[in-house]
Amino acid sequence: MSDLKLRVFLCHASQDKPIVRELYQRLNAEGWIDPWLDEEKLLPGQDWDTKTRKQSYGIL
């Protein structure tokens, strides 16, 4: 069985943050989905703009 997961970039408006947090948790719990949410995946000091652009284009 493959360890590959479906990668999902969660792009959203700030007012949608609460529902997107819930969506992130639900997708992450599936086990076969790798959701990307800024507040979960960005480390302190990382450049937000560069990291989100790379992630949205699938560049790791």
Range of the domain at 43: 6-56
Closest CA to 21 of 42, 5, 35: 35
36 with 28: CB under 8 angstroms?
A: no
- Our count of domains for the chain comes to 1
Tell whether 50 is covered by a domain.
yes
**Region 43-60 average pLDDT:** 68
* Calpha distance 11→51 (Å, rounded): 13
Q: Give pLDDT, residue 20.
A: 97
11 with 56: CB under 8 angstroms?
A: yes
Tell whether 1 is covered by a domain.
no
Mind listing the pLDDT tens digit for each residue in 26-43? 999 999 999 999 888 887
